[in-house]
Structure formats: C-alpha cells, structure tokens
Amino acid sequence: MAAIIQGIGAATALTSANSLDTKKSFFSNSRRSLSVGAERKGRTFVVRSDGHLSYGLNGRGRRAEQLITNAVAAKEDTAAASTSSKPGHELLLFEALREGLEEEMDRDPAVCVMGEDVGHYGGSYKVTKGLAPKYGDLRVLDTPIAENSFTGMGIGAAMTGLRPVIEGMNMGFLLLAFNQISNNCGMLHYTSGGQFKIPVVIRGPGGVGRQLGAEHSQRLESYFQSIPGIQMVACSTPYNAKGLMKAAIRSDNPVILFEHVLLYNLKERIPDEEYVLNLEEAEMVRPGEHVTILTYSRMRYHVMQAAKTLVNKGYDPEVIDIRSLKPFDLHTIGNSVKKTHRVLIVEECMRTGGIGASLTAAITENFHDYLDAPIICLSSQDVPTPYAGTLENWTVVQPAQIVTAVEQLCQ
C-alpha cells in the first residue's frame, strides 16, 4: 500500500501505437461453441447453444421474447454438442472475469484492485465479490467517488511496480479521468524516455443497457482509441473475458478492457486448465465464403442471429469478433477479406469517429485491391441514447438491418 500512496499525484503512461497499425503476427483462431444469455428487463435467463433456456428471477418482467434465442448460426448448431458433456466448468461472464482476476492475484502479489465499492460490496456487477476478505483492504481498495483521483493513484502505483486493476463503476464515469488516462497513462512511458512502465488495467461495464439513459449508455472506445500508447480489448464470452483479463494484467502496457453491461450473465463452459489469450488476436466465430462480417462485444450476438437467417437464405457469412480494438488484427481480417472480397462492419459504437470508421480506413488502406464492393458500416446513431425502450432499440443496429446489408453487398 505504501507503493500506492507513493504514486498519488504522479502522472501516468506507455508506448504509442496507431490504431490503424498492427503487428502482423500469425494467430491460430479457434471456434467455440458458446452459450448465450442476457439480462432482460424482466428476468435473467441463459440461452444455451442447444436452444434450452434456464430462468432466474430478477424482480422485473417483460419482452423476454426479444432476446436472441438462436444466436448461433445453423452451421455451428449442427456441430455443437451439449455443454454439459464437455470438460471444464460453467461460469457466467462476470464470474469468469473474477476467476481470471483472482488467479492473477494469487500468482502475482503486485496485482491489486481499486475502485468504487470493489471491496466488501463486491463491485457493482459483483466481479470482485469475495476478493476483499481473501486479500485484504490494501489489495482490494475501496475508493471515494472520485474517478480522476483513484485513476491517477492507480497509474502512479503502476509506475512504482504494482499492477493495479482499476474498475470504473460505469465506463461513462471514466470521462472524469480522461486527463489521467490520456496525458498520463498513455504517454508516460514515452515522455519518461522509457524509464517507467505503466502496467495498469482499466475495466468496467459500458454499452447500451436496458433503459439506463444517455449518461449510462456510453461507448467510450471511440474516445480512447486516439490516445497513443493505449491498448483496447472488448470481451464477448466468458472464455475470452477470462483470457483477456489475465493477458491484460500481465501486459506491461496500459490496457482498457471493455465489458458490456448486457453480457455479464452469459454462461459458457470454460477449460479447467489455465489459459491466456493474445491481446492482439481476433476470433474467427464462423468461417464463411460470401462476406466478412466484423464485429465485437454485444453486436456479436446480433450478427450471429442475423447469420442464421442469412444461412437459410443461401448466404455463407464469415463472422469475426475483432476483440482487439487497438491495434487491429489485420492478419486475420486481411485473410478473410482476400477470401470473401466483401466487408460488413457491425458495431454498437457511434458512427462518427467510431471503431468502425477506423477499421474501414485500415481495410481500405491495406486491402483495397481485394474488395469487390464498398465497405458497409452499421453503427449506432449519432444521438444520445433515449431512455424509452422502443426508441433505445431504434438507435442500435438490429439483426434485420444486418441481413439487409449483406443482401445488398452480395447483389
């Protein structure tokens, strides 16, 4: 804790990486049969890949039928076995994040957690539940409601050799710490001439929830992508949530881990043995031949719902969860573009200045000669997210729009 206090007031950091550049490493992409769930307004229920639903009470109820009940396309459905017959153990996404964090805290005493209510309350979405009694109040530090202060403190602690995991109760609140994240966290490695590393993880829930209002429905990936020296990843399944959490903690670079508020109750069987994912690797969700669909986070499930319809109509879409929002895995993306020659980008981020805009530019610069049609990007509308549920849905890309866009691309 002395190291943490030493870091108060210190600025913060890392080496810069342009969001349009990437290390062209060779990755092995794996397809996983996963279970899909979501927290709706009426109840919490989990939809497994075998089509069975399990329900849990959540105190409210309606519009359950709008959940993506067939989120995996037919090509995967036929090959998917029941999750109960697979080795490993089942976890919800928030539990997978906790397991990854706990394993790293056991492995490295320099790993610590700080944020609002992360201690004995267990975090706003229970990602840190049970960690305070196990590791004590100095390694799981409850902070005041002062994002700029505890983010700066965490960055200073990273400069002294700790590996802080900073939780924003809601990603929108981290706008209060934008100075610390941009001027300190992203730049200190460079401005110090390499004297300091900033091995910090900044994580928390974000995205459009269920009538959370404009200020609690922020998608900050568009804000942070231009900061030199920051890596950004977005989890979408329990498997990659745990693997990305562990990789982010072990990285010597500052990493922002985006978690979608509606994905915390996804359930999936993950391996018992330890695994760590590559922070710069995309995931091939569904191989195909006709069109490349690039997506991430919650939109992965909207895309997979649309993919089922597209398969029934005779199309064969290739779906890639880009996962790494900065830098992009242009090796995986490029190989897909060279095969399909058509690209559709689906994101929940805003259209203006979003991840889709940067991804479009990167593909155009690197693979323009392989394209047989203009890139189409489906994004959220450039408006504050309405509170009314019906209007909220209109601002976010829906599966029917994805189907229409693919049909247009493949004409």
What are the residue ranges of helices labelled H in 160-187?
178-179
- Phi, psi of 39, rounded to the nearest 5 degrees: -100, 110
Q: What are the structure tokens assigned to 2, written together?
A: 């002395």
The total number of residues shown for the chain amounts to 411
Give the Cα separation of 42 and 32 in Å (integer): 29
Q: What is the DSSP letter of 170?
A: S
Active site residues: 147, 216
Cα–Cα distances (Å) from 200 to 46, 187, 220, 231, in that order, read 32, 13, 18, 11
- Phi, psi of 322, rounded to the nearest 5 degrees: -70, -25
In sequence order, the 6+-apart residues with CB closer than 8 A to the CB of 314 are none
Residue 409: alpha-carbon gap to chain centroid = 27
Residue 178: alpha-carbon gap to chain centroid = 19
Give the Cα separation of 139 and 162 in Å (integer): 10
